[in-house]
Structure 1
Amino acid sequence: MKNGALFKRCSCRDENRALLGADCPKLRRKAGTWSSDHGSWHIQLEVETAEGADRVHLRRSGFDTREAAEATLKEIRNLLDLAERAEFPDRARAQIAALIRSALRRRTPLPNVDGIRRIIDLGQPVNSALTVAEFLTGWVEGKKKTRAANTYRSYKGHIDQHLIPRLGHIPLTRLNVAHGNKAFTEIANDARDAAERNELRHAARHRAQEAAHANDTAGRDLARLELAALGPYEDSPGAASIQRIRATLRSALTDAAKQGLVVLNIAKFIDIAPARKPKAKLWTPAREAEWRRTGQKPSPVMVWTPEHTKAFLGRARDHRYYALYSLIAHLGLRRGEALALHWENIDFASGEISIEAQLVQLGWEVAETTPKTDASTRTLVAPQPVLVTLAKHRRRQRRWAERSGDQWAPGPGNPSVYVFTDLDGYAIHPDDALEQFQRLTREADLPPIRLHDLRHGAATMARAAGVDPKILSAMLGHSSTTITNDLYGDVATEAKREAANTIADQLAGLDDDCDFPTSDTF
């Protein structure tokens, strides 16, 4: 039965309750043509896989029309014909037949002809049924030796936490744009919910720290219980991170297309919200007054004036993280770059500080990696006040080590590797640096900014002071001056305007009798 059989059956029974099947007289009209309103179409095909092996029987019932049954039978024959392309046709035919039989029994779509052809041409077993999860897992492991550690970690995090849970079960050859849109809608919704739960965790952790500083043991223990009940922090990617997750999928599917495993890179067509970087805005007196009235920030990225920054550092002067915040405020380091500084990176004689690593946070875990980009690996020159602050901080850290004794992380009497540590010598967790920054900001009664915006403030002051964009770009570790200008061009102009207005206010009255020039007098 090489080409297969096509026939009609029904569920009618005779007087002995035996099924009539294909012998029911109602299946045909008097003229001998098939009845259109009785019974259903069936297909059957026997497949020889190898000499001496049992034949594989392929059957499917319940087709409403002859055309539908014929189309399925033709698709089955096309799939079986692909076995002739394989190195071992009999083996491939048996594998294809097994996939077809499984699909017919489960009444799911037949294997994709183009997908099976590509698998055979690549010399892979047909019945491997390569899933998205299997492909992505193999793909990312292949990047382990060819990508930077943090890039590999980023890929793997995207794949393990977001892509495999939502797309992993799908056969790679059946992955389509609808699957991608559904997955990324779920990622965005889950991220929003996780961010809300992380806010609760953040608040509980902050209450625990506040209670500990106030020697409120009961309050501290209660907050810690709340934090434990909420569970560990969850990954909550924002719009930019979701863009990067899609970029990971797109990169993987580009390689899949090169291997002939997919025809279409569906990641190119997934519809997600654009990640637009907000423009930095200066906390002018008018904006600060409006914030105090409404509680609303004008932009997610706000920058303090020099007066704001001085007020903050004044409030933080006796805090154990003062040297950290002072360094960021003066030199514009990223938080992770500052926290990853080793004492050997600082040359007190020349004032040079080498940026060679960063601390990155994945969920709650922290790892030291290479800097963000090649341009991020750089050498800065610290002003004398910053060097003095760092020297004082080193003496204070040594006193912490003496008090900590056996509990000091590098070991009793050993100097800490990291410049910025907690009271037991461990590197500061990025979230703790942020929490303490926010606490000091509130205590100083300053308008809110992110810790990263302290870096923006340093850049803004340098830009407003007329520092050459190339020098500023190198200081910040940007790969081009375009990035620097896009981020700080507007706010630097605003800062200059504020400075000019301040000078004008101080000199008010000198030109009160002068008329403002019109276009005719220029």
Structure 2
Amino acid sequence: MAIYKNCSCRDEESGRRLGKSCPKLHGRGSQRWSTTHGRWAYQLELPPHADGRRRNPLRRSGFPTLADAEAELDHACGLLALDADPGVRRQITELMLATLKATRQLPPVEEVRRKVRTGQDLNRQITVGEWLGEFLKRKRRIDETTRRLYATHIRLYLDPYLGGIRLDRLRVSDVAGMFDAIEEFNDVITAARASGDPEQLAGVKYRRPVGARTMHSIRATLRHALNIAIKQDRLLDFNPAAVVELPVAVRPRPVVWSEERVTQWHADHARHLATQDGRSALAAYISAPRPSPVMVWTPVQTSAFLDHARSHRLFALFRLIALRGLRRGEAVGLRWRDVNAAAGVIGVHWQITQLGWTPIQGKPKTDASDRTIAVDAETLAALQAHRARQARERLALGEDWIDTGFAFTDELGRPLHPQYVTDQFYLLVYEAGLPPIRLHDLRHGAASLMLAAGVELKVVQETLGHVSSTFTRDTYTSVFPEVAAAAAESTAALVSSSRRPSGPRRLRVVWPGLTGR
């Protein structure tokens, strides 16, 4: 280990650089080195290779002052002193040399210390984008819907904004900056749509503003990928995605279609319809503004829908969703072998979901979703009538019938496409003249109907297939106006019944320290 001066002077005869042998570098008197000529350098012996071969010393030059050279030499010595293990010291040495070659600077001591303490591979350099690709390859035991969600988040957001950053240098500010950029682009989309300018609209075609819930989902994907990098590969010792603050993702609460809201909606729909040139009445009906993204029918409106849908070949399916709260994929995936008419129950053990446009069959996503639920007698009767109709269709078709075992099929016996069920639902709602809701809102309504009927929250939770009753209460419950009014009257009646017939008794208050009549 040594600190010295050198320069770029050359020998006049040979043309070779003189380096530290230049006579101009030597000082006068007590000064060893010239104060005006040359620049400072240092030399440091490095640990040998794994096979014992001597490694060339680390030589660094070009420092303007002695203090600068001493500071970097101390830095290098501090890195080599982090661990006495020869293997670790070799890794530190290779990291130092690679970092100097790439950045002309030594790696930070604290960063290397954290890596050494957590047992990370010091010489594996991987970008965030490369790790996200590796992460997606490793997720082999997830359903295709989740895989597609991860891939979409990586393709649209994580890779474009963070992909080029080295994984071990990803900071909280980088992740926060990504979400700031997403919010800025939201403003661009909103402004383009408000302007109506074709050129501006062309730049945001097929793009929608990213809401708070989607941002939380994007962060969850990144956090999960980084957790694996920490726990499995030890590429990180801190997850920057875990501490980034995002806007609160408020889940929309269901709103009931009261008479006042229905009246207002008809007026708004009439104005909306006047602006929908060239669109069908059904399309305009579905896209008309609503008081809330999640709307729930009253019991009277739900009954009116079921009455109108009674002659439809999917009546039993819609009744199951409206009264038992099945998800669309669970209703479409119901199999006859899971219907036990004698016990009055059905098993929700299979589903048909949608990946893009492609139907995907499989088991329910969670253990709570895989369940057995009770079914009322009228719904069982509807299922039996549906099975009889299916048997007639099968008999009429003969050998051309495709036996899939599903309760709800097309006329050839094939399983239904989930989107077909949604389209039929919207058509029935439109024909019935009811205020519009989504097919999934029937599930919200089923929870509200059960709670209004006095069913315990735990039973509602298990019927819907939720893990937590808190989630059921916060997400899938609404209070019908008539139920709220009845609750208010019941509360008031309880107080009124507690009054004494002779009227309230007058109380005498005696204050301490005071006397009087």
| TM class by smaller structure | 0.5 to 0.7
Query: Would you say 1:180 and 2:154 are equivalent positions?
Result: no
DSSP 3-state at the match of 1:47: coil
1:78-97 superposed matches below 5 A: 78-82=78-82, 84-86=84-86, 88=87, 93=90, 95-97=91-93
Say whether the 8 Å CA contact 1:118–1:261 is kept in structure 2. no
Counterpart Cα distance in 1 of 2:394 and 2:316: 17
Q: Which has the higher helix share?
A: 1
Say whether the 8 Å CA contact 2:403–2:414 is kept in structure 1. no
Superposition deviation, residue 301 in structure 1: 1.3
1:333-412 superposed matches below 5 A: 333-397=326-390, 412=400
Superposition deviation, residue 460 in structure 1: 1.7
1:6-405 superposed matches below 5 A: 7=5, 9=7, 34=35, 45=44, 47=46, 49-50=48-49, 53=53, 55-56=55-56, 58=58, 67-82=67-82, 84-86=84-86, 88=87, 93=90, 95-107=91-103, 110-114=106-110, 116-117=112-113, 126-129=122-125, 132=128, 153=147, 157=151, 163=158, 167=162, 170-185=165-180, 239-251=212-224, 253=226, 261-294=235-268, 295-397=288-390
Q: Which residue of 1 aligns with 2:202?
A: none
DSSP 3-state at the match of 1:376: coil
Superposition deviation, residue 235 in structure 1: 11
TM-score normalised by structure 1 residue count: 0.67
One-letter code aligned to 2:349 = E
Give aligned-pair identity as a percent.
Answer: 39
One-letter code aligned to 1:390 = L
DSSP 3-state at the match of 1:450: coil
Say whether the 8 Å CA contact 1:115–1:262 is kept in structure 2. no
One-letter code aligned to 2:219 = R
Superposition deviation, residue 141 in structure 1: 7.5
Q: Which residue of 1 aligns with 2:280?
A: none
Aligned partner (choices 477, 483, 488) of residue 496 of structure 1:
483
Q: Which residue of 2 aligns with 1:221?
A: none
Of 328-337 and 288-297, the range deviating more from structure 2: 288-297
Query: Would you say 1:478 and 2:478 are equivalent positions?
Result: no
- Cα gap change, 1:297/1:9 in structure 2, threshold over 3 Å: closer, same or farther? farther
Query: Would you say 1:465 and 2:453 are equivalent positions?
Result: yes
Superposition deviation, residue 449 in structure 1: 1.8
DSSP 3-state at the match of 1:379: strand
Say whether the 8 Å CA contact 1:321–1:420 is kept in structure 2. yes
- Cα gap change, 1:365/1:45 in structure 2, threshold over 3 Å: closer, same or farther? farther
Superposition deviation, residue 193 in structure 1: 10
Say whether the 8 Å CA contact 2:3–2:69 is kept in structure 1. no
Cα distance per residue 1:56-97 (max 9 Å; x no partner)? 4645566566555543333333333456424x46xx52x544
Say whether the 8 Å CA contact 1:283–1:304 is kept in structure 2. yes
DSSP 3-state at the match of 1:466: coil
One-letter code aligned to 1:240 = R
Of 480-489 and 289-298, the range deviating more from structure 2: 480-489
Of 294-303 and 449-458, the range deviating more from structure 2: 294-303
One-letter code aligned to 2:422 = L
Q: Which residue of 2 aligns with 1:204?
A: none
Superposition deviation, residue 327 in structure 1: 1.7
- Cα gap change, 1:110/1:419 in structure 2, threshold over 3 Å: closer, same or farther? farther
Query: Would you say 1:450 and 2:438 are equivalent positions?
Result: yes
- Cα gap change, 1:418/1:434 in structure 2, threshold over 3 Å: closer, same or farther? same
DSSP 3-state at the match of 1:127: coil
Aligned pairs, how many? 450
Say whether the 8 Å CA contact 1:14–1:20 is kept in structure 2. no
- Gaps of at least 5 residues in structure 1 are 196-232, 407-411, 502-520
DSSP 3-state at the match of 2:347: strand
Superposition deviation, residue 455 in structure 1: 0.8
TM-score normalised by structure 2 residue count: 0.68
Structure with larger Rg: 2
Of 69-78 and 50-59, the range deviating more from structure 2: 50-59
Cα distance per residue 1:122-161 (max 9 Å; x no partner)? 766542335556766777777767xx76898589658865
- Gaps of at least 5 residues in structure 2 are 191-205, 269-287, 489-502, 505-517
Superposition deviation, residue 283 in structure 1: 0.8
DSSP 3-state at the match of 1:106: helix
Of 122-131 and 26-35, the range deviating more from structure 2: 26-35
- Cα gap change, 1:263/1:497 in structure 2, threshold over 3 Å: closer, same or farther? closer
Counterpart Cα distance in 1 of 2:427 and 2:63: 70
Cα distance per residue 1:151-200 (max 9 Å; x no partner)? 985896588656566555544432221232234456778899999xxxxx
Counterpart Cα distance in 2 of 1:125 and 1:488: 47
DSSP 3-state at the match of 1:299: coil
CA RMSD of superposed structures (Å): 4.9
Q: Which residue of 2 aligns with 1:198?
A: none
Counterpart Cα distance in 2 of 1:483 and 1:192: 32
DSSP 3-state at the match of 2:479: helix
